[in-house]
Amino acid sequence: MIGARIIPVAGAATPRGVRKCGAQPCRDGAQPCRDGGQSSGHSGARPCAVTTDRIRAAVIGWCVVMLFGTWMPAQAQLFPLLGGQRAGISSLQFLKIGAGARASGMADAFVAVADDATALMHNPAGLMQFQENQVHFSHTTWLVDLQHEFAGAVYRFSRADAVGVSFTALHTADMEVTTETQPFGTGRYFSYGDLALGLTYARALTAQFSFGATVRYVEETIDVLKTRAVLLDLGTFYRTGLGSTRFSVTVTNFGGNVRPEGTATRAGQAPVSSFQEFSPPTLFKIGFAFEPYQDDQHRVTTAVQLNHPNDNSENLALGAEYAWNGIFSVRAGYKFNVDEEGLTVGAGLEAPVGIGRARFDYAYAAFEHLNAVHRISITLGF
């Protein structure tokens, strides 16, 4: 019967699922016995076996992963009919670019992981999933010579509250203006750049549930035209109580329609100062994550995330991370039903530095026809 105790009998064979005592502690937290017998945690406790909650959590987690993983390819032809026609209806596209090489290595399936400072971008409720203050910097060599930067800082001012600030930028070198009559350049240059400044607050309402919100000022500059907006991110994070399973829901880049401001001069035509408005790239995300295996030295984290953008069809991301001794980690992920994107891989190193710890991460994201994207980041905790 599930949950019943297994009572060792002298001279009997070791029951299946109960290991003999050794140097390593039990995986469920019990300590090895000292009398040379079978491991049972403390005197009179149950044997060192995988707990019922952990079994249930693993079964539920793998069912979710397999359900999404098998259902998504089967629906690959259906999704474009449901959302592909929305492509190109939103502006401020740089807000779709993720932050942090760790999340990128897991195909950005991170809303239900979100346990470092990059939660400022992925899920504001994640600020309650780590105890230390953190500072994060990342740099990405994006497509067509674009450079993407992200910086964030998180401060825990109580056990139940945290605040954070973030900065995002997408930029490139100045480009020369060309016209129909001067296709090789007019001698005048223009600049392009995006930036976003965010302020985040998160609170743990219970030991299992937390929420967070980010208010973000966004500005896009194309030569003399500027597009400005104030957008909102909302996130939740819920630990189910079954092993390490957790569930998250977020809405990012929520706000009113935006339009460029300024006056553009076209060669041989009248100036234009009135432009069409577009919505921001609002994104609804649902994520699930858990550790199918974890002990004192090894940890395996798996995550699945369903994304519903307002300007394209739904897509799915699967990600996994293996960490050894809290020092070295490797990651991999895959994005389904996303144009050009697919496989991602990454790795990280963590070590003590001064009064805290530093983690260096790298990620590689493959694109079908465009150049691959490389991302590096560093996270400092203290």
Could you tell me if 250 and 233 are in contact, meaning their C-beta atoms sit under 8 angstroms apart?
yes
Q: Locate the domains of the chain by residue range.
A: 1-49, 52-381
Residue 47 has pLDDT above 50, yes or no: no
Any idea which of 30-44, 67-81, 234-248, 367-381 has the lowest mean pLDDT?
Answer: 30-44
pLDDT at 140 (0 to 100) = 96
Quick one: residue 10, left, alpha or beta (phi over 0 = left, psi -120 to 50 = alpha)?
Answer: beta
> For residue 97, is it left (φ>0), alpha (ψ between -120 and 50) or beta?
beta
Average pLDDT, the chain: 83
Pick the range with the lowest mean pLDDT from 85-99, 117-131, 157-171, 300-314. 85-99
| Res 24 pLDDT > 60 | no
CA distances from 309 to 16, 45, 316, 377 (A): 48, 50, 11, 26
Does the structure show a pLDDT above 70 at 279? yes
Which residue's entry shows tokens 């007019």?
186
Cβ atoms of residues 53 and 243 within 8 Å = yes
Which H, E and C letters describe 267-314, residue by residue? CCCCCECCCCCEECCCEEEEEEEEEEEECCCEEEEEEEEEEEECCCCC
* Model confidence at 160: pLDDT above 70: yes
On whether the 52-381 domain is CATH 2.40.160.60, my answer is yes
> Which pair of tokens denotes residue 240?
């189910």
3-class SS of residue 321: strand
d(CA 130, CA 162): 10
pLDDT (tens digit per residue) in 51-85: 555 555 555 555 554 444 444 444 444 444 455 56
In contact, 363 and 104? CB cutoff 8 Å? yes
- Main-chain dihedrals φ then ψ at residue 104, nearest 5 degrees: -60, -40
DSSP state of 206: S
Q: For position 269, what pLDDT does the model report?
A: 79
Residues 20-26: what's their mean pLDDT? 41
Residue 132's pLDDT is 94
Question: CA–CA separation, 322 vs 332, rounded Å?
Answer: 9
Measured at the alpha carbon of residue 117, what is the angle toward residues 62 and 362, in degrees to the nearest 5?
A: 70
> Contact 218/233 with Cβ under 8 angstroms?
no
Beta bridge partners, 284, equal: 251, 308
Contacts of 66 (CB under 8 A, 6+ apart): none
